[in-house]
Structure 1
Amino acid sequence: MDSSQKSLKTIISNSKLTKKEEEIAEYILSNLTDACLVTSIELANRLNVSNATIIRFPKKLGFSGYSDFQKYLREQCYEGSLAISDDVTIPSERLKLSYDKVKQSDLLNDNLKILENNIFSISEKNSSAEFNKAINHIIDARRVYILGSRARTGLTEIMGVFLNQIIDNIVINSTNSFTPFDTLASCSKDDCVIIFSFPRYSEVDIAAAKMANEANAKVVIITDKATAPIAHFADVLLLVSVDSNAFFNSYTPVLFLAELICTHVSRATVIQSEEKLERINKHISQFGMY
């Protein structure tokens, strides 16, 4: 398999895996340095599966065999490839499991450490090439759609406000009057669709990604892992950990990633951005709308 231009998370997200194979994938993504060195038998023992299961796994991803897969992993490891977050359970389970730990811990320092790790995951999980590809899709698009449900609507609105101040034709789906399907009805190959999707992965977000993909739009998915059910619809997959010791996902690192994207877009379109910001500022200054 010629995988030199594909990241491991892209290969995994585009593969149909069983539950057990997803567990193998998550382990490898989280332990890349280790996985590129151990034998198939050692890996099988660590994951409590048969050696045959490990041998079959690389072929499921399109590699000729385990040796070919390990060679690829070593290349990925050398290039400073990715890690991935742990599975996130439903809110009531997370609250129950974390209660005693939270009681006994230094809440402020613990949360700061988790936040630091989550933000650092952005550089661990995403290459510069993937990031730049997402930026180019946004800049080159006729229209940019930004979608996200429930807690993610705040992210879509903030990113939408920032992008709208520097480039034109930003469409945000953040109203109860329109479904994502209404919003994407005019979506085409000339457009870019950005979708935020995190556990427990809304079926509506997944359906919207499918709709955008079928319209041949450039789809940028921002989620937490390559095995997320929405991931295989992505033209560009950007990963960020949302781990927390509470019952909810931590979206601060996602906002950091969104701001990072907006910063790069503004720098790449500096003349257009400056002119538009000046026009906006002229009017909002009259009313103190800062």
Structure 2
Amino acid sequence: MILKEAIEKEFKNLSKGQRKAAKYLLDNPKEFAVKSAGEIGKRIGVSETTVIRFCYSIQLSGYSELQKMVREQLLKANSTLGQYLSSKVELAEKPEFLSSVMEKDCLHIRETIQNISQDDFDVLVKRLIKTKKVYVTGLRSSFAAASWLSFTLGVVRGNAKLIRPDTDDLLLTISEMDEEATFIAISFDRYMKDTIKMAELAKKQGAYIIGITDSAIAPIKDHADLLFQIHSSEKSTIDAAPALFSFLNAVIAGVSIQDCDRFQTRKEQYEKLESEHFFIQPGGKMV
């Protein structure tokens, strides 16, 4: 039994107090390892009984078993880089390293398919078609995906902006959002505070928030109108990239197909450009 996966699986069925215990556990595993259920309850503002019932709710026999699992799994957990290296060392022992790594990527994509609701995906595509403007953000390991998504949405539908805290005036940008805007936050462990704060402020402005993350109880969940779990937080965030980009590609494909008139208009606009001033053909020479 993997503790994080058990919590994610049962989270939606937990009471409000039990959810507080679950979140505090994931954020502060050392506290659970050394403190009693009563002490934890006082710290988060719930009863000792609530903490113990939380243990039962995730199929544990009691608080002692929870403490044992916390010490074995959460306190000894490797960094994502450690997880990444360990998984690749195992594959290196096989004869075809290239195919082994890419087959593993395929497996992660198939796992992600199981995590995604087709109904939620349809809601996402329809929202991106009807919304007036799309804002996208993602930092550190999420930046490349956020950049690609904002660029590609700009190509197929227009009015898509990548938000970068290091160069953008965030207060001005967020103040321009309203109920006709959609904010997409890509947030993977380790979760950046700037991403979560931007989502919180955008929601207060009335924007529709879409969270793309690695856990059903990631911090972005508290502000998202629609949440997509792409990859298990038990695995390295580096390994999340293939599944993440495959999902984003499906989003772009959905927008293109379901809003084909606008896509055709955008295509014609591009074809009218004198592209030879910007691009060079394979084997060609610069003018």
TM-score by shorter chain over 0.5? yes
Q: What's the CA shift for 1:98?
A: 4.9
Distance in 1, Cα, partners of 2:276 & 2:15 = 51
Alignment of 1:108 onto 2:98: yes
Alpha carbons of structure 1 residues 264 and 96: separation in structure 2 relative to 1, 3 Å: closer
Alpha carbons of structure 1 residues 45 and 277: separation in structure 2 relative to 1, 3 Å: closer
Amino acid at match of 1:286: E
Alpha carbons of structure 1 residues 246 and 132: separation in structure 2 relative to 1, 3 Å: closer
Distance in 1, Cα, partners of 2:81 & 2:118 = 37
- SS, match of residue 177 in structure 1: coil
The equivalent position to 1:123 in structure 2, one of 113, 129, 141, is 113
Distance in 1, Cα, partners of 2:228 & 2:15 = 14
Alpha carbons of structure 1 residues 234 and 10: separation in structure 2 relative to 1, 3 Å: farther
Match of 2:133 in 1: 143
- SS, match of residue 132 in structure 2: coil
Alpha carbons of structure 1 residues 282 and 243: separation in structure 2 relative to 1, 3 Å: farther
Match of 1:90 in 2: 79
Distance in 1, Cα, partners of 2:11 & 2:237 = 29
Q: What's the CA shift for 1:146?
A: 0.8
Deviates more, 1:180-189 or 1:104-113: 104-113
The root-mean-square deviation of aligned C-alpha atoms, in Å, is 3.8
Asked if 2 retains the 8 angstrom alpha-carbon contact of 1:147 and 1:156, the reply is yes
TM-score (norm 2): 0.68
Match of 2:250 in 1: 260
- SS, match of residue 251 in structure 1: helix
- Cα deviations by residue, 1:234-283 (Å, 9 ceiling, x for unpaired): 11111111679768343121111111101100111111111112212321
TM-score (norm 1): 0.67
Amino acid at match of 1:143: K
Distance in 2, Cα, partners of 1:151 & 1:219 = 20
Asked if 2 retains the 8 angstrom alpha-carbon contact of 1:166 and 1:269, the reply is no
Asked if 2 retains the 8 angstrom alpha-carbon contact of 1:210 and 1:233, the reply is yes
Q: What's the CA shift for 1:48?
A: 3.8
Match of 1:190 in 2: 180
Distance in 2, Cα, partners of 1:93 & 1:276 = 44
- SS, match of residue 176 in structure 1: coil
Asked if 2 retains the 8 angstrom alpha-carbon contact of 1:206 and 1:230, the reply is yes
Asked if 2 retains the 8 angstrom alpha-carbon contact of 1:242 and 1:249, the reply is no
The equivalent position to 1:49 in structure 2, one of 53, 57, 61, is 61
- Cα deviations by residue, 1:34-77 (Å, 9 ceiling, x for unpaired): xxxxxxxxx959954329x99xxxxxxxxxxxxxxxxxxxxxxx
Match of 1:18 in 2: 21
Unaligned runs of 5+ in 1: 1-7, 24-42, 55-87
Q: What's the CA shift for 1:127?
A: 1.2
Amino acid at match of 1:18: A
Asked if 1 retains the 8 angstrom alpha-carbon contact of 2:133 and 2:181, the reply is yes
After TM superposition, the structure 1 = structure 2 runs for residues 1-290 of structure 1, keeping only pairs within 5 Å, are 11=12, 16-19=19-22, 47-50=59-62, 89-94=78-83, 97-98=86-87, 101=90, 104-105=93-94, 107-174=97-164, 176-178=166-168, 180-241=170-231, 248-283=238-273, 285-289=275-279
Q: What's the CA shift for 1:99?
A: 7.2
Asked if 2 retains the 8 angstrom alpha-carbon contact of 1:189 and 1:215, the reply is yes
Alpha carbons of structure 1 residues 9 and 163: separation in structure 2 relative to 1, 3 Å: farther
Q: What's the CA shift for 1:161?
A: 1.8
Distance in 2, Cα, partners of 1:13 & 1:203 = 25
Q: What's the CA shift for 1:196?
A: 0.6
Distance in 2, Cα, partners of 1:13 & 1:228 = 16
Asked if 1 retains the 8 angstrom alpha-carbon contact of 2:214 and 2:233, the reply is no
Which of the pair has more CA radius of gyration?
2
Alpha carbons of structure 1 residues 102 and 11: separation in structure 2 relative to 1, 3 Å: same
Match of 2:72 in 1: none
Q: What's the CA shift for 1:225?
A: 1.3
- SS, match of residue 230 in structure 1: helix
